[in-house]
Structure formats: C-alpha cells, structure tokens
Amino acid sequence: MYGKEIIMLLHQGSCLIILSIIFSLCSLMLKSEGANHIVGDSSGWELLANFTSWTQGREFHVGDVLVFNYNRDQHNVMQVNSTAYADCGRDNYISLFTKGNDSIVISEVGEHWFICAVDDHCENGQKLSIDVVP
C-alpha cells in the first residue's frame, strides 16, 4: 500500500516541477517581447515630422519594434550606416522597406539609422537615428 502512495507522491512532485518549468519559460518569453514604437506617432513616417524630438525620452531595447506608417507612393524606409545617414547617401544601404506599414525588429545594441530615400526627403529631415541599449 505504501508503495503506491510513494509512487503517487513522486508523480505529483514531477508534475509540479514540470509546471514550474513551463511557468518560468512563459514568464521569460513574455519579458523578452519588445515594445512597439510607432515612428512619428500619429503623424507617421512623414516629411514634416520632427524625428529628433520624437526620440527624446524614449528608450530603445533589443527586441523592440519600430513601426513605420507611411504612404508607399510617397515614401520608403532605408536602413543605412552612419555615413549614409549624415550624407543622405542611398548607394550602400542595409535594408529597404517599401510596403507603407513596415515593422522592423531591433536585433542589436548600438546606433541604428533610417532615412527616406525618395527625392530630397532625407535632406529635408526625414531621417531617424536611434541608440539601442541592452
């Protein structure tokens, strides 16, 4: 009789351990989800928006998502290096997004640069620089 009770207790203990592990993994997964940052807020990725002031007071982390909302017939999003950002260079870009509702997951710590490569939009201020912290 005691043998069955011991086996039942061991089985219950195993279930509790498994449930604890599952709960811990779920908690870690929820914690690792990043925040969504709608670039330019309600204005979106537009020529007249002030993206320097938009970044002030915001903290960007690995796993966060930058959401670029724009009219795809008028704008695009080009991820570039620091030189291309400063010069509005369009030749050696990292990525080009053209859907009009682009979500970009931040995967690395450090500075990230984005410009609009349409006409003279970048030269007129449609560019974004963010610093990503761990």
36-133 maps to CATH 2.60.40.420: yes
Residue type, 32: S
pLDDT tens profile 88-105: 999 989 999 999 999 999
CB 89 within 8 A of CB 110: no
Q: What is the pLDDT of residue 29?
A: 46
Unique residue bearing structure tokens 């537009």: 46
pTM (2 d.p.): 0.76
90: left (phi over 0), alpha (psi -120 to 50) or beta: alpha
- Quick one: how many helices (H) and strands (E) in the chain? 3, 8
pLDDT tens profile 14-71: 544 544 444 445 444 444 579 999 999 999 999 999 999 999 999 999 999 999 999 9
Least confident window among 10-19, 29-38, 78-87, 120-129: 10-19
